[in-house]
Amino acid sequence: MNKHLSNAVEFLQAQGLEINIGLKSENTFLPNIEIVNGAIHYDPDCTLVSDLLHESGHVMLCPKPFRKHLHNNLYKGFRYIFETVSIPLDSQLHWYLMAMDDHGVTAWAWAVGKHLGIPDHEIIKDDQYGGEGASIRTCLQLNSYIGINGLSHAKYCDMPNTSRYKENAIVFPNMKKWSPSYVE
């Protein structure tokens, strides 16, 4: 296992994410990593740190009471949550759930990678995101990626321009917290 992957696993486990070595199935969305009942299962010899950070973001940004519904097909889990839970519009739960989309997760993974000192090109590879990895990485480097907005609305961080008018702003990619504090 490479150093960055090892550091990421250690950090994520310290944040309360269940991470297990070994896959449960051969049909995974990404090679060598899967989400099963809200836990990460992976092959440490083959998994890219970028994939681990991104998939972990889906789980970490999900409020704990709902993580058990997350499996390889995340959209089934998201749909179940949105169909079975009363979510008042503009509530903190609403913003937590909205931040779980791919844009929010990508920004979250970037913030974790920066926090851990992982090189930018390993946090997001050029060939990822349908070949748009380099473009997304540039947007994140410039603090102009759409996922930052969702994280800010969910109170994970402050927007980059916030420091102009808010004392003690915690500006992306720095984070106030890594997962929601929502309790059912």
Q: How many angstroms separate the Cα of 158 from the Cα of each of 26, 75, 77?
A: 40, 28, 28
Percent helix, strand and coil across the chain, each rounded to 5?
50, 10, 40
User: Could you say which DSSP state residue 34 is in?
Assistant: E
Residue pLDDT, tens place only, 50-83: 999 999 999 999 999 999 999 988 889 999 998 9
The chain-wide mean pLDDT, for the chain, equals 92
pLDDT given at position 27: 75
| 137 vs 27 pLDDT, higher one | 137
pLDDT given at position 183: 60
Residue pLDDT, tens place only, 133-178: 999 999 999 999 999 999 999 999 999 887 677 788 899 999 999 9
* Residue pair 32/79 in contact by the 8 Å Cβ criterion: no
The answer to whether residue 184 scores a pLDDT higher than 70 is: no
Q: CA-to-CA distance for 162 and 71, rounded, in angstroms?
A: 36
